Amino acid sequence: MSQIKLYNTLTRQKEVFKPQGDTALIYGCGPTVYNLFHIGNARMFVVFDVLRRYLEYRGIKVKYVQNFTDVDDKIIKKANEEGKTSSEIAERYIAEYFKDADALNIRRADVHPRATENIRQMIELIETLIEKGHAYAVGGDVYFRTRSFPEYGKLSHQSIDDLESGARIDVDERKEDPLDFALWKAAKPGEPSWQSPWGEGRPGWHIECSVMASTYLGKTIDIHGGGQDLAFPHHENEIAQSEAANGCAFSRFWLHNGYINVDNKKMSKSLGNFFMTRDAAEVYGYEAIRFFIVSAHYRSPINYTPEVMKAAKASIERIKICRENINFLMKSGLPEENPEDCAMISELRGFRERFIEVMDDDLNTADGVAVIFDLVRKINTLCAQGEPPSKRFLKAAGDLLDELCGVLGIRTTADNGREDEEIKALVEKRNAARKARDFKTADEIRDRLKAMGITLEDTPSGVKIVRK
RNA sequence: GGCACCAUAGCCAAGCGGUAAGGCAGAGGUCUGCAAAACCUUCAUCCCCGGUCCGAUUCCGGGUGGUGCCUCCA
């Protein structure tokens, strides 16, 4: 069996991934909770969810930590606008996060720490940095001395001097160097603040993730990541802080997912061309969003368009119909076993092997999806052929379909609920009409059910009820 | 200015040295009372020009076009 390879931003190469201990320690930069999350955020959550599911699928234990940034300028701004406290805003959008994330079938992290729960450790880390000469306090603020960390720029592969020359003119005269960044910000009136050796204040953004990663996972973790735009400066700064303070590697692997584009432009807050996950879900459904994300390689940019989303929806439908067809046939009069079962079932193993092979290569979910569709076609073909498969084969095929889709977080079964009596009665009435060759009545009933969101399919084994 | 990424059918998207996976859409057919679903068939010399090689979509060089990071952003 092949080995799992992941592209590591640090080395710009695909490397064989093995956790340092018996559990892969993964940290993903979670949302700043001041609003619903957009589909770009969704991509990062889904990508890391797939990473986690896949590692586990391959027998690696995973501890995944995803934070909530619950103290931040944007949250404060929103709170002021609405006359609420920052923590009320944060609380609300954490709840909203889980609504969308659950609907996207994103498993909850093992720990969802909040920045405000880890202030003490942040202060400690800042103190260490000051003691070691990597940071300095100026009038209630504390800055990281970027030039004191010689490896600064190793993640974004820029030299510190190039960064400096490209840096915008910084208005803050108190910084020793334009590249220095805030570890601690002195409190302004009306802002949430905590007592510190440098006075009342709050932590900077970068220090939060450094601290939460090491607090919940340890000083050297296996994988850290987020969207590509976090690589610089956020992740670069995290590395600088953590490694300067701890004297050991912060994360062995860095994974960065590509953006979602709209009209081939990066979807961003400043451009205002972003779509909330919830709004997109209302039009296309959460599952189509997930499929859209998983149908391309995680490092490629993907373009969000109505055409693509419609295609995603139709694709999901195809998988579900296949699964429903299996369920339907399982209840039919097919033989339990068939002499060719063994050969057919062993053929199924080929799909699993191919799936693993492509996914091992830096989580190639696009190829993974292709394997799933090949499987779907295989199953459909066998079901359509004169020689019907056995229930034993169908069970194996359905299990494999669920297994592979499960790794990508694609749900295979529609939540059908109960078939209520009314529908059953109508279907039977229609059957009677058909038998009597009264097709007019039969079609009327079919149209009526269609309007209720129920599609009837007449198959050789009887009428199949499909809900959409 | 510095540092990266990308260019494959109508749309999306894999492959990355041996002559193009998969999905959506389209066309034709089979099945069906009609449908639906499904199945079968069909739909690309991989941006351009050089080079290396027996052989390049895949490697190298040069163009052209697009995107991103260097500023809060997944």
The 3-class secondary structure across A165-204, one letter per residue, is HHCCCCCCCCCCCCCCEEEEEECCCCCCCECCCCCCEEEC
CB-to-strand B under 7 Å, chain A 282-301: 295-297, 300-301
- Measured between alpha carbons, how far is A50 from A54 in angstroms, rounded to an integer? 6
A338 touches strand B (CB under 7 A): no
Whole-number distance in Å between A350 CA and B42 C1': 28
Nucleotide with the nearest C1' to A157 CA? B3
A321 touches strand B (CB under 7 A): yes
Task: Choose among A105, A20, A15: nearest CA to A63.
Answer: A20
Q: Which residues pair with A253 in a beta bridge?
A: A223
Task: Choose among A281, A280, A308, A307: nearest CA to A294.
Answer: A308
CB-to-strand B under 7 Å, chain A 57-96: 74
CB-to-strand B under 7 Å, chain A 127-166: 156-159, 162-163, 165-166
Q: Poorest-confidence range of A145-159, A398-412, A447-461?
A: A447-461
Nucleotide with the nearest C1' to A366 CA? B14
Nucleotides of B under 7 A from a protein CB: 1-6, 11-15, 21-25, 32-40, 66-74
Residue type, A215: T
Whole-number distance in Å between A455 CA and B74 C1': 38
- Measured between alpha carbons, how far is A256 from A253 in angstroms, rounded to an integer? 10
Nucleotide with the nearest C1' to A458 CA? B36
**What's the average model confidence in pLDDT over A379-400?**
89
Q: At CB < 8 A and 24+ separation, what contacts does A351-360 make?
A: A351/A375, A351/A378, A351/A400, A351/A404, A352/A400, A352/A403, A352/A404, A355/A404, A355/A407, A356/A1, A356/A2, A356/A58, A357/A2, A359/A54, A359/A407, A360/A2, A360/A3, A360/A4, A360/A5, A360/A58
Mind listing the pLDDT tens digit for each residue in A90-147? 999 999 999 999 999 999 999 999 999 999 999 999 999 999 999 999 989 999 999 9
The confidence score (pLDDT) of residue A418 equals: 55
Band of the pLDDT at A258, cuts 50, 70, 90? very high
Whole-number distance in Å between A376 CA and B72 C1': 44
Q: What is the CA radius of gyration of chain A?
A: 27
Can you tell me the ipTM of this complex?
0.96
Mind listing the pLDDT tens digit for each residue in A162-220? 887 666 555 566 889 889 999 999 999 989 999 999 999 999 999 999 999 999 999 99
- Measured between alpha carbons, how far is A77 from A120 in angstroms, rounded to an integer? 24
A269 touches strand B (CB under 7 A): yes
The phi and psi torsions of A198 (rounded to 5 degrees) equal -105, 15
Q: Which residues pair with A7 in a beta bridge?
A: A14
Cβ atoms of A29 and A223 closer than 8 Å: no
Side-chain-side CA neighbours of A6 within 13 Å: the count stands at 24
- How buried is residue A106: exposed, middle or buried, by Cβ count under 10 Å (0-12/13-18/19+)? buried
A432 touches strand B (CB under 7 A): no
Nucleotide with the nearest C1' to A39 CA? B74
**What's the average model confidence in pLDDT over A415-429?**
76
A441 touches strand B (CB under 7 A): no
**What's the average model confidence in pLDDT over A363-381?**
97
Whole-number distance in Å between A456 CA and B35 C1': 9
Whole-number distance in Å between A286 CA and B23 C1': 18
Whole-number distance in Å between A201 CA and B54 C1': 71
- Measured between alpha carbons, how far is A111 from A217 in angstroms, rounded to an integer? 10
Tokens of A112: 């969802």
The confidence score (pLDDT) of residue A166 equals: 60
Give the dihedral sign, CA A435/A439/A444/A449: positive
Cα-Cα end-to-end distance for chain A: 39
- How buried is residue A269: exposed, middle or buried, by Cβ count under 10 Å (0-12/13-18/19+)? exposed
In percent, the amount of chain A with pLDDT more than 90 equals 78
Mean pLDDT (chain A) is 92
Cβ atoms of A127 and A183 closer than 8 Å: no
